[in-house]
Amino acid sequence: QMSWPEAAVERSSPGGSGESALSAQAPGNPLWALAVVGFAVFVAADDLTVVTTMLRPIISDLGLALPDGLDEAAWVVNSYLIAFIAVMPIAGRLSDVIGRRRTLLMAYAIFTVGTIVIALSTTLGPFLVGRVLTAIGGGAMVPVALAVVGDVYHDKRRAKALGTLGAIETLGWVWGPLYGAMLVRFFDWRWQFWLNVPMALIGMALVWFVLADHDPAASRSTDASTTKDAGQRHSQVDWWGAAGVTAVLAGLNVALLKHWPRA
Which of the residue ranges 79-88, 141-150, 232-241 would you say has the lowest mean pLDDT?
232-241
pLDDT over 60 at 241, yes or no: yes
> What's the confidence (pLDDT) of residue 216?
53
C-alpha 147/C-alpha 153 separation (Å) is: 10
Stronger pLDDT, 241 or 85, i.e. the higher one: 85
The DSSP result for 69-102, as a single string, is: THHHHHHHHHHHHHHHHHHHHHHHHHHHHH-HHH
Mean pLDDT over residues 13-20, rounded? 35
Q: What is the mean pLDDT of the chain?
A: 77
> What's the confidence (pLDDT) of residue 74?
78
Mean pLDDT over residues 227-241, rounded? 57
pLDDT class of 85 with cuts at 50, 70, 90: confident
pTM of the model: 0.76
Mean pLDDT over residues 84-109, rounded? 88
Stronger pLDDT, 34 or 29, i.e. the higher one: 34
Cα 20 off chain centre by = 25
What residue ranges define each of the domains in the chain, with the CATH number in brackets?
A: 27-259 (1.20.1250.20)
C-alpha 225/C-alpha 11 separation (Å) is: 20
> What's the confidence (pLDDT) of residue 159?
86
